[in-house]
Structure 1
Amino acid sequence: MTAPKTIDAPYQPPRIFGPEYRTASLGILLVVTLIAFEGMSIGAIMPAASTELNALNLYGMSFSAFLIAGLFANVAAGLWSDRRGHPVPFLVGVGLFVVGMFLAGAAPSKEVFIVARAVQGLGGGFAVVAIYVMIARVYAPAARPKIFAGLSAAWVLPALVGPGIGGIVAETVGWRWVFYGIIPLVIPALVMLLPALRGGEGQDREEAPARATGPRSRPLPMILAALGTAVGAGVLLYGADQLHSEPVRGGVLSAVGVLALAVGLPRLLPRGALRFGRGLPTTVMMRGVLSAAFFGVNSFIPLVLQKEFGFTLTEAGIALTVGAIGWSSGSYLQARREWDRPKLVRFGAAAVTGGILLTALTMIPGLTGWIMAPAWILAGLGMGVGMSSVSLTTMRQSPDAEQGANSAALQVVDTLGSSLTIGFGGVLINLIGHDDIGAGFLSIVVMTAAIGTLGVVVAGRMREAA
């Protein structure tokens, strides 16, 4: 008599809100939500803050301070995590973030406010990189797609409600309470993360990761490279902003910024990243490619809709934020099964590029500006599947001792990619779109679509060489 055949149960990946990971997942998502909410609401309160502090140019300076400090913290946190583990960098990052919130809320002058934004950038940079390392060391590989989908959702909700809530708080009790109100919410997040920080929850490793070695494990050269890259990015952005009013000065500053980036950036990335070497180098660079293409257009959609189509701020915001629907849908879909990740990233880059090209249809006479909405849902879908897949592939390709350095590299190219295309997009608007916003926007579409097309072409190089 033969034994009855058994039917294999369908594969069920670990649940990130199951008993094994519940408190770690809730703590991580709450911290990321708080960081994202601060970032999304800052634009809504900046007019009130700049008026009270008597600094009309406060937005640009505070953004640059946050950018430079964040880039520096990304690298420092990666070094620290690889050498000593993720708990202390994470706690330092959260602590700095809270201090920055308090300083911003209490700022009596623009100088203190800019310092507060720099402290927030340090805190956010430390915390986010440490969270990536925490995911690599606490979560089983099968659970990581779902926690990355959760991270995407933690950014989507603040994108939808952050500006509105920030504006309401600023108009009712004052802009300072946008910062003060975040501080108490950090406490429950830390309590939930204590088991993961101690290495208990979800931890299936019996021994600590090997100590980092190699050129990206040397603190002094890496810190100097991070400082040069951060300052170079800030100088380049400032110089680019000056090109339309003071071309010579702006050109000199831009050249200095590019030189600093050329010296510092290669030392922060895996060897061969800037030439899209096979495997990890291209995987890391794809994060910057996707961010550069998407955010380079994203920042100018409201401007075009208001100037060219007469949309109200609310209507322009709706057309823009529907991209969050596509992003969250893409993040959900990539977590549903095992995928060929390079192919999925190629699809993501193609979807982002397609969405960008669709936005150009709004410039055809007689067509409505609401074309932006479905176009940006498509682009958001590409970001949802692409960004999570890049993060997962980076973890798979990273030795334990290099998880911090590679997580930092992801954040560096993400920040640089989006910041530089936004900066150059502003230059194009000023130079080409000064009298015709539509023409300036089309030039941005051409620039970012070219970047997205590059991503489609090189995504296959994410695979390791045979």
Structure 2
Amino acid sequence: MSAEAPSATIWDRHRLGITVGSVVLIFLAALEALAVTTVMPLVAADLHGEALYAVAFAGTLATGVIGMVATGAWSDRAGPRAPLYTAVALFIAGLVISGAAPDMHLLILGRLVQGLGAGGQTVALYVVVARVYPGYLHGRIFAAFAAAWVVPSMIGPFLAGAVAEYLHWRWTFLGVAVLTVLAFVLVAVRLRDADLGPHPEASDDSSPGGRIWLRVLLAVVVAIAAVTVGFAADAAPSTGWPLALAAVAVIAVAIRPLLPVGSLRAAPGLPSVVLMRGLVAGAFFAAEAYVPKMLMERFDFGPTIAGFALTASALAWSGGSALQGRYGDRWGSRRMAAASLIVLLAVMAGMTALIVCQVLPWAVMVLWGFAGGAMGMLYPRLTVLTLAYSTPANEGFNSSALSISDSSGSAVTIALAGLLFVSLPIAGSGFPVVFLLAAAVLLVSAIPGTRLGDGLAERTASRGGLSATAPPD
């Protein structure tokens, strides 16, 4: 391996197909996620499914958790080839079902299938990287994956809006499905001869790691409950609200074993990091799901222009992430979290005022750009803290918990936003209550935000025999 290191790259002839195909698969998944947010107002109106608008987002995130957990276990036991093929097939099938759906219920079914595939596809590709690329190339391939997420943020919303406006919203699903097939062929051809068998240290069901099937079952319960919250919006309030509250209670019970001990009570350190990630993700993405809808329905923008709000947010997110990378250690985690929360709360207050007064529609795009910048500062900081609190023995569990909290928090908050949108309008519109919900969730996230600590400092302290149970002053 050392002889190969000086000249080997991720673009070598025998890795080129895998690199290009994998990067394109990541690119298309990111593009689709942004595209759906842009065109979903048109989809819901065309299919007469306004009450189920939020489920189209929440369901995909919820089933994505199942895909992540199941694919990770399957890849450990049988290698990543079959899990990757299955995940991509599910992703494509979900896109086709959604693109051809004659009504909102079938579209949501497609989105659920798509979520299973999207969650599993990412995990399987990461395992492929671990098996196919030597360690010194991992940084380069993951940098390519990161770029595959950044580029769609610049062009995805505008492109999706243009496709929906000048062709039809169905092509935002069907077009990506066709391109995914082509990208997958590149990967599959090159993986035929690769050694992708089960890991020699993979555990069986009788070992501690064999509890994976319990984790899959719990992920399924969380997903079903999250979707139930979304469907409650389609029921009468006397039925919908008790159903939604019961589903949230089920989620609180089922998700506990999937997260670090003490997460739901904001215990200091890692549990608060994981909890805050889920709360902040839920607040931001629940609000973002309604930003293009608000611009189209209340301010009469077309989908192409409405997509610029998401582009502004994504670009600002990149800038905030770079700022965090440069100054995060100097400012400290709690100070960074506090600054981000203050900006996000100000944005939610501003969005509420703009929609109630129905003034300054272009200010919506500016404000949402600030929201993206705040998320860019906070999101990577929480990831850094998670890794800092982790050891080689629990890095996998902790990273998985962060993703599960992220997706589950987003799914539940988006579903609750959908229920509130149709049942508690303010000033003749459901939009203000969505942003007020986001603000309330952000305020709750301030509780774990004060207990994040500094993972690097605490690990150093614990190695010196000091207590590492509470964050430093």
TM tier relative to shorter chain: 0.7 to 0.9
Q: Which amino acid aligns with 1:386?
A: L
The reply on whether 1:371 has 2:363 as its aligned counterpart is yes
Name the CA distance, whole Å, in 1 between partners of 2:219 and 2:107. Answer: 23
Consecutive unaligned residues of structure 2, counting only runs of 5 or more, are: 1-6, 463-473
SS of equivalent residue, structure 2 residue 452: helix
Summarize deviations over 1:231-250 as a string: whole Å, max 9, x none. 111222333x25xx723212
| Partner in structure 2 of residue 447 of structure 1 | 440
Quote how far apart the aligned CAs of 1:165 are: 4.7
Specify whether residues 271 and 16 from structure 1 end up closer, same or farther in structure 2 by C-alpha distance, changes over 3 A only. farther
1:261-276 equivalences in 2 (<5 Å)? 261-276=251-266
Q: Which amino acid aligns with 2:362?
A: W
Moved more, 283-292 or 148-157: 148-157
Specify which of 320, 340, 357 is matched with residue 351 of structure 1.
Answer: 340
Q: Which amino acid aligns with 2:246?
A: V
SS of equivalent residue, structure 1 residue 458: coil
Quote how far apart the aligned CAs of 1:125 are: 1.4
CA contact (8 A) 2:309 2:365 kept: yes
Moved more, 35-44 or 223-232: 35-44
| Partner in structure 1 of residue 315 of structure 2 | 325
Q: Which amino acid aligns with 1:358?
A: V
1:151-166 equivalences in 2 (<5 Å)? 152-157=149-154, 159-166=156-163
Specify whether residues 26 and 316 from structure 1 end up closer, same or farther in structure 2 by C-alpha distance, changes over 3 A only. same
Consecutive unaligned residues of structure 1, counting only runs of 5 or more, are: 1-13, 201-206
Instruction: State the identity %.
Output: 28
CA contact (8 A) 2:35 2:160 kept: yes
Specify whether residues 34 and 189 from structure 1 end up closer, same or farther in structure 2 by C-alpha distance, changes over 3 A only. farther
Specify whether residues 370 and 462 from structure 1 end up closer, same or farther in structure 2 by C-alpha distance, changes over 3 A only. farther
CA contact (8 A) 1:359 1:372 kept: no
Name the CA distance, whole Å, in 2 between partners of 1:400 and 1:195. Answer: 31
SS of equivalent residue, structure 1 residue 218: helix
The reply on whether 1:421 has 2:413 as its aligned counterpart is yes
| Partner in structure 2 of residue 34 of structure 1 | 28
Q: What count of residue pairs does the alignment treat as equivalent? A: 443
Aligned CA-pair RMSD: 4.5
| Partner in structure 2 of residue 296 of structure 1 | 286
Summarize deviations over 1:281-302 as a string: whole Å, max 9, x none. 3443343133123223323334
CA contact (8 A) 1:288 1:415 kept: yes
1:25-424 equivalences in 2 (<5 Å)? 26-42=20-36, 62-63=56-57, 65-84=59-78, 86-105=80-99, 113-132=107-126, 146=143, 149-150=146-147, 152-157=149-154, 159-167=156-164, 170-171=167-168, 177-187=174-184, 190=187, 194=191, 198=195, 211=203, 217-239=210-232, 241=233, 246-305=236-295, 313-333=303-323, 340=329, 343=332, 347=336, 350-361=339-350, 363=353, 368-395=360-387, 397-398=389-390, 404-424=396-416
Normalised to the residue count of structure 1, the TM-score between the two structures is: 0.75
Name the CA distance, whole Å, in 1 between partners of 2:116 and 2:144. Answer: 24
Q: Which amino acid aligns with 1:69?
A: T
Quote how far apart the aligned CAs of 1:413 are: 1.5
SS of equivalent residue, structure 2 residue 453: helix
Normalised to the residue count of structure 2, the TM-score between the two structures is: 0.74
Q: Which amino acid aligns with 1:230?
A: A
CA contact (8 A) 1:61 1:114 kept: yes
Specify whether residues 209 and 400 from structure 1 end up closer, same or farther in structure 2 by C-alpha distance, changes over 3 A only. farther
Name the CA distance, whole Å, in 1 between partners of 2:182 and 2:80. Answer: 21
Quote how far apart the aligned CAs of 1:153 are: 0.9
